[in-house]
Structure 1
């Protein structure tokens, strides 16, 4: 049996109970305009604090005046008396259309930094091959004042002694919003700490709620067959077989990577593709556990009975989706964003009455189903130890969040609109820390407004989404483009409903691998996964018996899996 919870899960659940009511979250494909308006907090209130450690105080003294008054208090929003220059590097955002005379080096963001903080931001280079160029610069032993890095680059820079310890500066200069984000996703925040030193500020992501998966079921068939929503995996099998008998289809959508079937694996307590702890606390790969073996045995039986397409081993996701659109199947394990990826085309082709609706992954064991949650954080903000004004980086970070917040909408709406117009905000990716509750808050607000009919408290952009869903509800066949919003928060039983339940009950399990990947997996991870996929596929289609699972796992261990386990233990124990 797998260990069902860990300390990070318990911590997140405690925070969820405090911070979440009706929660939900949009997938990463949610429109930029909505993402930009969901952050809220106490941005530019005059936040002050006492001076920090001797190291930090000396840096502040060297930086002329970072906003320290005669009482020794620091105003984190104050401008410098003399101009401070910060250097950085950036990706080439060639898709951005700048106003005449502006470019990535000179635009409203850089001008606002100068006007508001007296900070001159200079790009040492801009490249469409960012990581390659940055890796070369790291190899040369010199980086700009601050830089956006991935986990591997952060580790290299930390081990080379090239980074500034941000711990004291963070305590003093990070805004309340930024600190609340880091507290919410403390595991990602702590991944930037090496030997007690804060070398990287995690840029975070949209929250664990984005990762929930569902089993989507065609509603007109479910109703015509007089069937209820599945409570157990046996119920799901009954629905699939009933659809097969009545409509001449196969039962459940699957494709050659086994990804769709793997979305159902938590129903057996399995978490393929994820590193977990067993009951003894040992780190194991989720694709090699007895729980996953049980799931494969069930799927082999499904295939034998015709519940899975006989052609699934040749079908990619696009082809599997085509079978849904052409009414060859009525059950589809899929991600939260079915409405955007499949739903719009589906409603256009088949009409609203045939729409699929989401349901929680049912249990095959009688135990609560825990969703698989992976590290959403991919990058960090790092500051060179040679930076003369490291605290200035926090001013940019704090300001970026302020512009995302409802406070800027209320106080400086025009500036906010102009700074986020035409994806201009993307140019500041090296100063961005994402609000991990952003989508949860946004979708909860819209969902509650739709359920109550009271949209009076919605922001302008939320109101647009609300009106789109209302238009879909009134005439769905005329507005298939709003299927995604409807599936997210348009009815009781939408993904928002289920996500709220998962979060409130703490029904999720986090990947032990959080941010830093063992070297063996960087080099050979794809090969190792191929060994498992090829072997497991043989089991599902009946070419090998279920006990062949043990042979496959031994092959995986011999090819590097055993070494991967060892390196995981070294990294995360």
Structure 2
């Protein structure tokens, strides 16, 4: 945290998209840059500024191709590989070891070391990661708990329980309108593997991992969507569709239409993320005060506990230009961000309370706490049990206050929404926390972000995959359709992508 004396100057490149500035301020002259100079003795000069992500990627690629990058630069994992191979960036192994605070080292290890792996090649650290909480995106099972109680069903502990619940929701009139108009499970035509609704958790129950990379029996990285475990999951969805547990029109209904079905009381079960009640199914409660949703860990289709997919957690890393005299400046900037945002939060460099302008986006480097929301859940849950919010930070206290207001006034739906995310009694983060405690997260094994063939071919292959799944679910194809998809996937770019992914793994020493 020490200050450079005399001060040093660093150059960087910026994307100012979405940023707002107080009068007289800009990306070249802002409150964060002032604090860097005052507290760290670091003067920041922007070598170039763009205003959208695509322009930033293009400008960074041009800089890399020309062999002349700014002193500190945010790049993608693919760009990192190019920079390492071109010997254009500093090895940060020693300066990180010497200058990183223990709090920063703890932050970077919250995910078990994945972020540091994504920033390293052949055992050497060439970047610092912009960490995010990929854990928060892991699927849970959301179920209408009031329907479960009404029909005398048990909580879902196995996939057989899921089928039983879905069947009952279709056949036993859980909404009591004497019409056969409810579905057991919500699916959208997009067949997304994350977000809400998702197919990811359903497939994870069968130990299938669509959309992420896994290690095969030979230790090679292989794409989860083409593995044989996928077959049983797709065929089970086809069986459920035939039995009426899935909306017959799911193939033409996008996510927003599924939300309408959920919130009008037509869907009683779906796979999704821990925060679904904040955006996907809260309308159910608004429309029917007696409605309730519970989140459960993903039940397994067999005796082996299900592991839940986690996508690529690192899409941005920060590098230092080869030959820059003070590479430790990057570490100090990251120490500073961690200290001022997480260790001892300083609201004066986060937002202007008078104008509402946010300052934090101006930071040259950023990193989020991977366990932030799970930690918040644990603390809020303890505070709710004790009826004592002492010890909560301002964000956690906000959650507590909303939940406490709902406990006193059940008509306050917003409080219920946050209770079902951060609270207890089958909250979304409770289910996610159980994955962390039980070591039930399946991290993608490819941490390189993208490859050339992936950038060119993956969108087409993804579309082909969804066409195949939709065809099988609707009953117009069987295992032969899956086998043909795998064969076509390999021929139409998948084999080349797989080759490049494994070349990355070999080059990175992963």
* TM-score of the superposed pair, with normalisation by structure 1: 0.81
Matched, 1:426 2:361: yes
Give the distance between the partners of 1:190 and 1:546, measured in 2 at CA: 37
RMSD: 2.2
Partner of 1:233: 159
Equivalent positions of 1:75-224 (< 5 A) are 77-98=1-22, 100-128=23-51, 129-185=55-111, 186-206=113-133, 208-224=134-150
Give the CA deviation at 1:405.
2.8
Q: Residues 259 and 281 of structure 2 are in contact (CA less than 8 Å); yes or no, is this contact kept in structure 1?
A: no
Give the distance between the partners of 1:384 and 1:82, measured in 2 at CA: 21
Give the distance between the partners of 1:197 and 1:507, measured in 2 at CA: 29
Give the CA deviation at 1:404.
1.0
Cα 1:269–1:145 shift into 2, 3 Å? same
Task: Give a deviation string over 1:305-341, Cα, whole Å, max 9, x none.
Answer: 1111111111111111111112222112211111112
Partner of 1:520: 453
Give the CA deviation at 1:406.
4.0
Decide which of 162, 179, 199 is 1:261's aligned counterpart: 199
Give the distance between the partners of 1:423 and 1:103, measured in 2 at CA: 12
Give the distance between the partners of 2:466 and 2:348, measured in 1 at CA: 53
Q: Residues 447 and 496 of structure 1 are in contact (CA less than 8 Å); yes or no, is this contact kept in structure 2?
A: no
Task: Give a deviation string over 1:336-378, Cα, whole Å, max 9, x none.
Answer: 1111122333322222x21221112222222211111122111
Cα 1:489–1:192 shift into 2, 3 Å? closer
Partner of 1:511: 444
Equivalent positions of 1:346-385 (< 5 A) are 346-351=284-289, 353-385=290-322
Give the CA deviation at 1:195.
3.9
Give the distance between the partners of 2:117 and 2:478, measured in 1 at CA: 44
Cα 1:195–1:541 shift into 2, 3 Å? same
Partner of 2:470: 537
Matched, 1:274 2:212: yes
Cα 1:264–1:166 shift into 2, 3 Å? same
Give the CA deviation at 1:497.
2.3
Matched, 1:330 2:263: no
Give the distance between the partners of 1:117 and 1:262, measured in 2 at CA: 45
**Secondary structure in 2 aligned to 1:547?**
helix
Give the CA deviation at 1:225.
0.6
Give the distance between the partners of 2:47 and 2:500, measured in 1 at CA: 37
Q: Residues 32 and 349 of structure 2 are in contact (CA less than 8 Å); yes or no, is this contact kept in structure 1?
A: no
Give the distance between the partners of 1:285 and 1:545, measured in 2 at CA: 21
Partner of 2:176: none
Q: Residues 16 and 50 of structure 2 are in contact (CA less than 8 Å); yes or no, is this contact kept in structure 1?
A: yes
Q: Which moved more, 1:376-385 or 1:334-343?
A: 334-343
Partner of 1:66: none
**Secondary structure in 1 aligned to 2:46?**
strand
Task: Give a deviation string over 1:279-326, Cα, whole Å, max 9, x none.
Answer: 453433222222110111111111111111111111111111111112
Partner of 1:52: none
Give the CA deviation at 1:475.
2.0
Partner of 1:48: none
**Secondary structure in 2 aligned to 1:300?**
helix
Give the CA deviation at 1:562.
2.5
Partner of 1:468: 402
Gapped runs of 5+ residues in structure 2? 174-179, 193-197
Matched, 1:283 2:241: no
Q: Residues 37 and 43 of structure 2 are in contact (CA less than 8 Å); yes or no, is this contact kept in structure 1?
A: yes
* Greater RCO, CA 8 A, separation 6+: 1
Give the distance between the partners of 1:184 and 1:534, measured in 2 at CA: 38
Partner of 2:244: 306
Q: Residues 277 and 417 of structure 2 are in contact (CA less than 8 Å); yes or no, is this contact kept in structure 1?
A: yes
Give the distance between the partners of 1:333 and 1:193, measured in 2 at CA: 34
Partner of 2:391: 457
Matched, 1:405 2:328: no
Q: Which moved more, 1:168-177 or 1:283-292?
A: 283-292
Give the distance between the partners of 2:158 and 2:324, measured in 1 at CA: 58
Give the distance between the partners of 2:19 and 2:352, measured in 1 at CA: 17
Q: Residues 422 and 429 of structure 2 are in contact (CA less than 8 Å); yes or no, is this contact kept in structure 1?
A: yes
Give the distance between the partners of 1:262 and 1:392, measured in 2 at CA: 41
Give the distance between the partners of 2:331 and 2:413, measured in 1 at CA: 43
Q: Residues 178 and 433 of structure 1 are in contact (CA less than 8 Å); yes or no, is this contact kept in structure 2?
A: no
Give the CA deviation at 1:389.
2.3
Q: Which moved more, 1:113-122 or 1:374-383?
A: 113-122
Matched, 1:564 2:506: no
**Secondary structure in 2 aligned to 1:133?**
helix
Give the distance between the partners of 2:126 and 2:343, measured in 1 at CA: 30
Cα 1:283–1:113 shift into 2, 3 Å? closer
Give the distance between the partners of 1:296 and 1:455, measured in 2 at CA: 46
Cα 1:364–1:384 shift into 2, 3 Å? same
Q: Residues 489 and 496 of structure 1 are in contact (CA less than 8 Å); yes or no, is this contact kept in structure 2?
A: yes
Q: Residues 216 and 358 of structure 1 are in contact (CA less than 8 Å); yes or no, is this contact kept in structure 2?
A: yes
Gapped runs of 5+ residues in structure 1? 1-76
Give the CA deviation at 1:418.
5.5
Task: Give a deviation string over 1:141-189, Cα, whole Å, max 9, x none.
Answer: 2111111111122222222222122122111111212222233342321
**Secondary structure in 1 aligned to 2:24?**
coil
Give the distance between the partners of 1:408 and 1:520, measured in 2 at CA: 42
Give the CA deviation at 1:569.
3.0
How many residues were matched structurally? 489
Partner of 1:395: 332
Give the distance between the partners of 2:301 and 2:222, measured in 1 at CA: 22
Q: Residues 349 and 359 of structure 2 are in contact (CA less than 8 Å); yes or no, is this contact kept in structure 1?
A: no
